[in-house]
Amino acid sequence: MIGVLDWGIGGLFAVERMLAREPTLDLAVLSDAGNVPYGRQSRPQLCASVRDSVARLRELGAGPILVACHSASTVLPELDLPDVEGVVRPEAVPLGGTILVLGGIRTIRSGAWRRALQHHGTVIQRIAQPLSAAVEAGHIHHPATAQALDRILAPGRA
């Protein structure tokens, strides 16, 4: 069984993609949305939350685990958890050009994506608050979400 960990609903996209490729895949999905949002936790709190969530997935029988949360992925290198992979995967990005990274405060400030992608092109990072909250709430087509997206993307359009 493969475990998938996220704070909210973003991991469901990863699950959808995995099942599209392998419909009979045995998955355990853990959304830790009952906890303080990962991006708002201190680094020690986040490390503890990720360890606890990985332990819960292991109790369910998960072998390899995908951490489908950018904030949680930023602490994985210091946790040394076997068979646990994050979402920072530079090999999925073509070489050259400009790469726009949208993320929460913790994700952007961690520099994880900048370091991973620096050899692939010019990396522009933008803190995308409050987009994640709007998506989690299902307000994808709401005018306030469109306004926030315009504000966040404006520097890249210049």
Instruction: List, run by run, the mean pLDDT of 10-residue segments along the chain (158 residues).
Output: 87 88 94 81 92 96 92 88 79 76 83 84 84 78 87 74
Cβ density class 56-75: b for 16+ within 10 Å, e for less = ebbeeebeebbbbbbbbbbb
CATH topology of domain 2-85: Rossmann fold (3.40.50)
Domain spans of the chain?
2-85, 90-157
Query: What global pTM score does this model have?
Result: 0.74
pLDDT score of 92: 65
pLDDT score of 131: 78
The second-level CATH assignment, the architecture, of 90-157 is: 3-Layer(aba) Sandwich (3.40)
pLDDT score of 88: 66
